[in-house]
Amino acid sequence: MSEATEDFWVEVGRFRALRDAEQHALVLVASGVESRIVPAVGGMSLLVAAADAAKARSEIALYTHENRPRPHPTATLRPLREGMDAAFLYCTLLLLVDSAANRNVFGYDWLAIGDAQAGLIRSGEWWRAITALWLHADIGHLLSNMALGGLLGVLLAQLVGAGLAWLAILISGGVGNLVAAYLEPTEHAAIGASTAVFAALGLLAALAWGRQTLPWRRLRRWSPLAAAVMLLALVGVGGERTDVGGHIAGLFTGGFAGAMLHFAGARVLSGRRAQLTYGAAALAIFVGSWLAAFASS
């Protein structure tokens, strides 16, 4: 075929760069089609024998289709109203529990039966890992967790839905308290939604990290996780009464949960009915934990 005259060769592609022409020539060689590259107006022309033109064009079209850039899906945010309603309910429950604890409603010492005492959690009083999230030492402690927790909850709800967001925050915060209970001395006790707040931060950071998948953004991809660690360093490890272990445990359990949600992707139900179910499950955990606390006293 190399002895054929120029009239028997036809162009099947024209490329600006020689490298692109050579790449497509290799594709044709792999499929058994001989080709040649010659200079042409505007670049390099890829020629094949007239008898092989149809096969060559088919192979090139298939190669182009298989190697075209895939558009990365853009994150669609849910309505802000959905997240704000759930955040309002979160703040309302914090206020109700704080008021009830201050007044010993139902005749119970809510702090005594609900704080996260490491030794008691280890001995089987698992509910303290949840109930402790709703108890606070003072109004400043309460308001800070309401503000930051509500904000993070709204942001997370826009990504995964309000019901799933708050179920994940509650479970991650509770698991964070469980982990901290096994890392702290048996006499260690903690209260406050801070562990859940840092769990929400971990969830948000992991999901934000997972959505930045473009290869040329590798450094930028780590920015959400770096921001989470920086916030932990700024507000999570200072102060005499700061539960450092709980904050760190919450951040990591939230990050783990966020990674699982990211990799689960479309397999996680996210419709309105599913979100209501998630929200109902979160409320059931909240109520069930306090009922267990009351029953144990």
Tens of pLDDT along 281-296?
999 999 999 999 999 9
Provide the pLDDT for residue 268: 84
| ∠ Cα 275 278 280 (to 5°) | 110
Report the distance separating Cα 144 and Cα 78, nearest Å: 25
Intrachain domains 6-66 and 80-296 with the same fold: no
- For residue 202, how many other CB atoms are within 10 A of its CB? 32
Query: Does 69 score more than 80 pLDDT?
Result: no
Q: Residue 219 has what pLDDT? A: 41
d(CA 196, CA 214): 30
pLDDT reported for residue 220:
46
Other beta carbons less than 10 A from residue 166's beta carbon: 29
CATH architecture, range 6-66 = 2-Layer Sandwich (3.30)
pLDDT, tens only, 198-255: 999 899 888 887 765 444 344 444 445 555 555 555 444 455 556 778 888 998 999 9
In 103-222, alpha helices (H): 110-114, 118-122, 128-131, 139-160, 162-183, 194-211, 218-221
Structure tokens belonging to residue 149: 């927790």
Greater model confidence, 79 or 135: 135
For the chain, what are the domain ranges?
Answer: 6-66, 80-296
Q: Report angle CA 68, 71, 76 to the nearest 5 degrees.
A: 170
pLDDT at residue 64, as a whole number: 85
Rounded to whole angstroms, the Cα distance separating 252 from 178 reads 12
- Residue among 129, 104, 238 at smallest CA distance from 193: 129
Does residue 208 or residue 105 have the better pLDDT?
Answer: 105
Query: What is each CA distance from 34 to 10, 26, 31, 48, 58, in whole angstroms?
Result: 12, 9, 9, 6, 14
Spatial neighbors of 35 by CB under 8 A, at least 6 apart, are 12, 25, 28, 29, 46, 47, 48, 56
d(CA 66, CA 131): 54
Burial (CB < 10 A; 0-12, 13-18, 19+), residue 219, is exposed
DSSP symbol at 132: G
Residue 107 burial (C-beta neighbours within 10 Å; 0-12, 13-18, 19+): exposed
Extract the tokens encoding 55: 């096969």
State pLDDT tens for residues 108-148: 999 999 999 999 999 999 999 999 999 998 998 899 899 98
Mean predicted confidence (pLDDT) in 145-163:
91
Closest to 124 in 3D by CA, of 285, 249, 293: 293
Residue 275 has pLDDT above 80, yes or no: yes
Residue 258 · residue 206 · CB < 8 Å: yes
Domain 80-296 of CATH type 1.20.1540.10: yes
User: What pLDDT is stored for residue 215 in this prediction?
Assistant: 41
pLDDT, residue 222, reads: 47
**55: phi then psi, degrees, rounded to nearest 5:** -65, -40
pLDDT digits (tens, 9 = 90+) for 126-135: 999 999 999 9
Helical ranges in 31-79 per DSSP H = 53-66
| Backbone torsions φ then ψ of 133, nearest 5 degrees | -65, -20
Residues counted in the chain? 297
Rg of the chain, C-alpha, whole Å:
30
Mean pLDDT, the chain, whole residue set? 85
pTM of the predicted model as reported, rounded to 2 decimal places? 0.70
Give the sign of the dihedral formed by CA 133, CA 254, CA 265, CA 221. Answer: positive
